[in-house]
Structures are given as C-alpha cells and as structure tokens.
Structure 1
Amino acid sequence: MMLKKASFFLFIALIIIVIAGEKNLKNVQYSQQAAFLPEIETVQAQPVSFSEKLATGLPVTIVFLGDYVTSADSLPDGNPNHVLLLTEWFNDQYPNQVTTINAGMNANTISHMKERIESDVLTYTPDLVVISTGLNDALGAWKISVDEYDKDYQAVIDEILATGRSEVLIRTPNPTNSVEKNKTMRPYMRVSRELAKRDNVYVFDFYNVMATDIHAKDISQVAFMQNTFYPNTKGQAYLFDKFKTYLTTEFIQP
C-alpha cells in the first residue's frame, strides 16, 4: 500500500516537472525570437516650424528675398534698413540663434527672383523665407503682367516649400505717393493675398497697414518716403516697427 502511494506521488511529481519544463522551453524560444526583433526606440518629436525652433533655442536661418526696399543699399544715407533693424532685434531677443541673409536686389521683379531662388535662397537651407515684391512688377522698367506675376510668384513659393523644411512669409510692399500708381498696384496686391491663402503661407500685408495709417492721418507718407516709390530712413524704421509687431503678435508663438 505504501509503495502504491509513493508511486502515485512520484507520478504526479513527474507530470509537474514536465509541465514546468515545457513552460521554460517556451520562454527560452520566445526570448530567442525576441532577440531577432528590431529594437524600437522612443524618439522625441523635434520642432519643425520656425516658431517652434525659435522657442526651443534651436538655430534658425531667415532669408529676406526682395527688391530695392529689401536690399542692403536701400538707404543712400547709410542708415540701417528694416532688414538690418530686424537682424539687430533678433540678436537682442535671441542671442546667437538667428542668422539673417539679405537677398534683396535693386530693380527686381518676382520673375528675376525666380531665376536666383536656388543660388540666393535655397543654398542657405533657410527655415523661413520672407518674400517682398510688387513695386517693380507693377510699375518698374521691368514690369510684368498680373498673370505673369501670379505664375512666377507661385513657382517661387512651390520651389521653397518643396524643400520640406522652409516656411514662406509674404510681405506686401509699401504704397507709393501716387494715387494712380497705387491703383495700378492693387491687382498685384490682391494676387499676393490670394497666393497666401491658396498655399497656406503667412502674409504680412504691409501695403494695407501703411495705407490704413495714411488714410487715418496717423502718418504723413511724404515724410516717410525718399521719392515716389521707396521709403526713407524714417519709412524703413516704420516698416521695421510694423513688421516686428506682426512677428511678435501673429507669427512667433511663445
């Protein structure tokens, strides 16, 4: 009787050992399979927009693409224009973080800018491209039609956005001192605004800002212009102030 009981318990023990061994074997097999699976790393999403990069302390590059009003020699008296004033402001607010490139060129239309987009803009791999055009397109010696303005402006925006890393900010130009010339400019300004909506890019409508202040008698346009077309030192400082307000209230997010 004792022998039978001993045999029974031995049998039960063997069954337990076998079951435990199978579980261990499965665990070993699973471990071996897991060793060949690709490792999954937890990657923290990197800031992608200009504003996000600025807020997180990452370096950013801005290219100002434009005509005479943008160009470094836009003030004959040698005073800083709005681009240089913005550069100084960025350096003060974001030390050693923002690189600005002035790609303004006298007498340029958007068609001229299209031809130099690769050499003067994309070569710097910018995070933001500020485009300002419209004066020469509508009124200059190299003036182009509204349709050509639309087509070439679209091509410039498409080429910048195709990089996948650059944002676009359209800045409309200043109005002139001539009512008739401003009437000629209006269809071009309308196209600029429509392009911003169509391509979902930013727009600082300086033409409208300045025209509104002139009509409200908040500024004297004559006092802000070096001639019929272009801002003087006071006008460039005004452009800087309005641009900075736009950047800090509508574009750069805290």
Structure 2
Amino acid sequence: MKIKEKFLKRQSKLNSPIPVIAFIGDSVTQGCFECFVEKDGSIETVYHPELAYSRLLLDKLLKVYDRVTPVIINAGISGDNAKGILSRLSRDVLPFKPDLTIVSTGLNDSLQENPSAYGDELKKIFSSLLDNGSEVIFLTENMMCTYVPDYLTDPILADASRRCARVQNQGMLDKYFDTAKAVASEFNIKVCDCYSIWKDMAKNGVDTTALLINGMNHPTPEMLEIFADELLKIILD
C-alpha cells in the first residue's frame, strides 16, 4: 500500500510528511466495552479509547517504524452505521486528508436487515474517500452473540442480546459482510476480514459469545488485538 511508502520515507528522512490514518465506524471502532442501562431505560456503554484497535495498531506501527509517529484519527461512534458514517464523513474524516482510512461498519446495520441499502451506502463512502485521495481498507467486524449469556439479567440488555443473536444465527450478518466484500472488490479496496476469523473459531468449537465483553457485540480487549494484527499485515504487505 502507498501508506507503507510514506512510513518508509518518514523513517529514513524525518522531515518527510507524517502519515495520517483515519478510522471510522461504530462502537467497536470507538473503543466501547461493557454495557449498562441508564435510569431512563437507555443502554449506555463503558468507553476505553486507549484500548481501541486504532490505538493497538498505533503501538504495533511504532514498534516497526520507531522514528514515525503517525497521526491517528478515531472517528468511531457508538451505535453508528453506514448511513451515519456517510453523513459525517465530510466532517469527521475528510478535513484531515488521511493517507489511509479504515472503514468498519455492519453490526448495527445488520439489525435493519437491509443489506442492499447498506451496500449502496458503502459505495458512496468508498467513492468519497477515494475521490479525496485516501487509500481505504474495509474491516469486517466480529460475530455477535449466538445466545443470551446468563449474566445479562437486566431485561433490556437481555432483549438487546436476544436480537443480536437472532440476526447472527439467521445469517443476516453474513449477508452484510458478504455485501461489503463484494462492494470493496468493485472499488479494488482491500478487506481486512476479521469476521471470517471469528467464523472459523466458531466452526472449530470456540464459544465466540464468551469473547464478547457485553454479551452482545463488543469484543474483549484481547480479541481486538486480532483487528490490529490483521490491519498491520495489510499495511505492510
């Protein structure tokens, strides 16, 4: 990728331009973990931006290119989807003129059960980023829960988990990420397919729901390392 060349130039010549990497997506991108219910009945989450996969990737990049400190923009927003990303792209990402943008969405989108509309929105997102000179990687996310964990005793959280499990078990999330990969292929965009890694774990008997810290759709901090590792492989390829 061109972004690698920018790292190499900065590593060898410190007055070269600084690489800029933007991340835009949902709660998994933002760095959200456990969930709880507010007094008004709304679901809120615990935020740990220092554990977001953008930060993990930064740490790994610094070990490879010790003389390069890239600019990292984490534009993840909890609860967001492709439609929301498209609406705020010009505000949250484009002004920073990123060399590379990692786009990751699908979990919240899949609850709408309309993969066609999702695909259309991704086309517009990819077009906008490419037209503005950014390379793009699309990152498929983790699996959602396949059952409601016993520790989710609050009925609001249990209902949310049940809805996620239904979408996951009926194959709707599969359809969404298949759509995303097809659209990415149309634009010659690289895909960091972490969802396939999760699916392979499930096929090999791993209880993937136990790897979700909120019992719904947020991976544990340890599982976010996979996102960072796989992104690093693509950047260095």
Please give the TM-score of this superposition, normalised by the length of structure 2. Answer: 0.76
Specify the code of the residue in structure 2 equivalent to 1:221: T
Give the alignment of 1:124-139 within 5 angstroms.
Answer: 124-139=96-111
- The 1:185–1:94 alpha-carbon spacing in structure 2 relative to 1, beyond 3 Å, is same
Task: Look up the equivalent residue of 1:168 and give its one-letter code.
Answer: V
Q: Which has the higher strand share?
A: 2
Structure 1: gaps spanning 5 or more residues: 1-47
Residue 222 of structure 2: which of 234, 237, 242 is its match? 237
Identity of aligned residues (%): 24
The residue correspondences of 1:1-254 to structure 2 (distance < 5 A) are 49-57=2-10, 58=16, 59-74=18-33, 76=46, 78=48, 80-95=51-66, 96-139=68-111, 143=112, 145-163=114-132, 165-178=133-146, 180-182=166-168, 183-217=171-205, 219-233=206-220, 236-248=221-233, 250-253=234-237
- Which residue type is aligned with residue 54 of structure 1? F
Higher RCO (CA < 8 A, seq sep 6+): 2
**CA RMSD, 1 decimal:** 2.1
TM-score by length of 1: 0.71
CA 74–126 in structure 1, closer or farther in 2 if over 3 Å, else same: farther
Tell me the alpha carbon deviations over residues 44-70 of structure 1, each in whole angstroms, 9 at most, x when there is no partner. xxxx81121122225211111000111
CA deviations on 1:86-110 (whole Å, 9 max, x unpaired) are: 1222233324431111000011110
For 1:206, the aligned partner's letter is C
Q: 1:186 to 1:72 in 2, by over 3 A?
A: closer
Distance in 2 separating the partners of 1:117 and 1:212: 32
Return the index of the structure with the highest Cα Rg: 1
User: Unpaired segments of 5 or more residues in structure 2?
Assistant: 11-15, 35-45, 147-164
Q: Which amino acid aligns with 2:59?
A: E
Q: Which residue of 2 aligns with 1:17?
A: none
Residues 144 and 122 of structure 1: CA distance in aligned 2, closer, same or farther (over 3 Å)? farther
